[in-house]
Amino acid sequence: MTERAAVKAVLKTQAVETPSWAYGNSGTRFKVFAQQGVPRDPMEKLDDAAKVHEFTGVAPTVALHIPWDTVDDYAALARHAEDRGLRLGAINSNTFQDDDYRLGSVCHPDASVRRKAVDHLLECVDIMDATGSKDLKLWFADGTNYPGQDDIRARQDRLAEALAEVYERLGDDQRMLLEYKLFEPAFYTTDVPDWGTAYAHCLRLGPKARVVVDTGHHAPGTNIEFIVATLLREGKLGGFDFNSRFYADDDLMAGAADPFQLFRIMYEVVRGGGLSGDVAFMLDQCHNVESKIPAIVRSVMNVQEATAKALLVDRDALGAAQRAGDVLGANAVLMDAFSTDVRPLLREVREEMGLDPDPMAAYARSGWAEKIVAERVGGEQAGWGA
């Protein structure tokens, strides 16, 4: 196989998971701009996700968020997905939208609130059993706003206890993915603020617990690819929530703000064997002012482009330059790959997969956008402003 053919073979097997909440209306704390034709229920979110997969060929799974995607029959929802060539992906818990969670959920000082939160997490595992989902994705809004508000160490103990109970409930082929976030909604301490805290908890829990890297959840200037390299090296990288940011947790389209950073991350993934392993590549974005389905198609394509460039790095030449201490030579090898226009290669990949080489144009021609505007009235909000 030529090198080009090998790169194309990897790209054909890539899988990017799209989030159900990206298909619904969303906004900022100031305003949710309702768009026409957005899904009215979880089934319609899957119908839209099926279009993203139909035109990109590499988005076969959809993450759910409970209770935003609550249905009576999860097995039926999984069948609805299967009928459209999709599978249900990670189940995302929600312990941040109930009045009881004002002072936290699994870290709350009151044991009855902690019980309620853990019960919700256990219910999410029940849902995984019904949907066939492999991953439980946990993000906690827990934290404090003022020094002295609560005991930082006691909150870690409560967190560990809650995670251990949920971990025990996981089936043999189910995993717990723990996500960290520097700040927001808490502004003084956050209980899982960084990869080190998440890693420490996952390490104690065991092999089924892994860390999720959301690219929007770091301080400005953080070297995310270093975190990725370290977690992969330790066998603890569970997956990504891809999105891009200019300031904080902006949740813009992956690869829009800083394609070079996405390339550097994907290079460490390739370097660490993360493409052929069990790392989940998820999007976690909101499309507040742009059309949602094309924005998700574009994001998937941006991840593909970064991956293609990462695969094109001449690793033999890079290694030789690194061993020789050739700083500029090594940097040039990496930059050559980043500067390559991989769009023709990806067009070929799509043609060989029986797809239109231009997913954005193919979606626009498909008539789906007009159909959903005509047929769907009163679409739902994703949950953030709900």
Least separation in angstroms between residue 179's CB and Mn ion is: 5
* 307 close to 276: Cβ distance less than 8 angstroms: no
Asked whether the beta carbons of 244 and 253 are under 8 A apart, the reply is yes
Contacts to Mn ion from residues 257-286, by CB under 5 A? 284
Mention every residue, 6+ apart, whose C-beta is less than 8 A from residue 240.
Answer: 212, 213, 214, 215, 265, 279, 280, 281, 282
Residue of 48, 135, 150, 179 that binds ligand PSV (CB under 6 A):
179
Determine the residue with CB nearest ligand PSV. Answer: 139
Nearer Cβ to ligand PSV (135/356): 135
Regarding 142 and contact with ligand PSV (CB under 6 A), the answer is no
17 binds ligand PSV (CB under 6 A): no
Q: Give the CA radius of gyration of the chain.
A: 21
Amino acid at 343: R
- Candidate list 55, 74, 101, 139; residue touching ligand PSV; CB under 6 A: 139
* Binding of Mn ion by 17 (CB under 5 A): no
Nearer to ligand PSV, 194 or 358 (CB): 194
d(CA 271, CA 275): 9
Q: Taking a C-beta distance cutoff of 8 angstroms, is the pair 299, 242 a contact? A: yes
Residue 27 CB, nearest distance to Mn ion (Å)? Answer: 15
Task: Report the nearest approach of ligand PSV to the CB of residue 141 (Å).
Answer: 7
CB nearer to ligand PSV: pick between 11 and 252 = 252
Looking at beta carbons only, is 225 or 249 nearer to ligand PSV?
A: 249
Q: Does 284 bind ligand PSV (CB under 6 A)?
A: yes
What's the start-to-end Cα distance of the chain, in Å?
52
Residue 201: which of ligand PSV, Mn ion, none does it interact with, CB under 5 to 8 A by kind?
Answer: none
- Chosen residue from 51, 108, 158, 181 binding ligand PSV by CB under 6 A: 181
Q: Find the binder of Mn ion among 47, 191, 249, 305 (CB under 5 A).
A: 249
- Report whether 208 contacts 174 (CB < 8 A): yes
Nearer CB in complex with Mn ion: 54/214: 214
Is residue 380 within the footprint of Mn ion (CB under 5 A)?
no
Pairing of strands 143-144, 189-190: antiparallel
92 scored as a contact of ligand PSV (CB under 6 A): yes
Rounded to a whole number of angstroms, the minimum distance from the CB of residue 185 to ligand PSV is 9
Contact between 135 and ligand PSV per CB under 6 A: no
Distance, in Å, from the CA atom of 198 to the CA atom of 210, rounded to the nearest integer, reads 8
- Cβ–Cβ under 8 Å, residues 124 and 162: no
CA–CA distance, 253 with 168 (Å, rounded to integer): 36
Antiparallel, parallel or unpaired: β 18-19 and 280-283: unpaired
Minimum gap (Å) between residue 216 Cβ and Mn ion = 5
Burial 353-378 (b: 16+ CB within 10 A, else e): eebbbbbeebbbeeebbeebeeebee
* Cα–Cα distance, 293 to 91 (Å, whole number): 21
State in angstroms the smallest separation of the CB of 186 from ligand PSV. 11
Answer for which of 249, 268, 305, 356 binds ligand PSV (CB under 6 A) is 249
Q: Considering the rule CB under 6 A, would residue 189 count as an interface residue with ligand PSV?
A: no
Applying CB under 6 A, which residues contact ligand PSV?
A: 92, 139, 179, 181, 214, 241, 249, 284
- Interface residues with Mn ion (CB under 5 A) are 214, 241, 249, 284
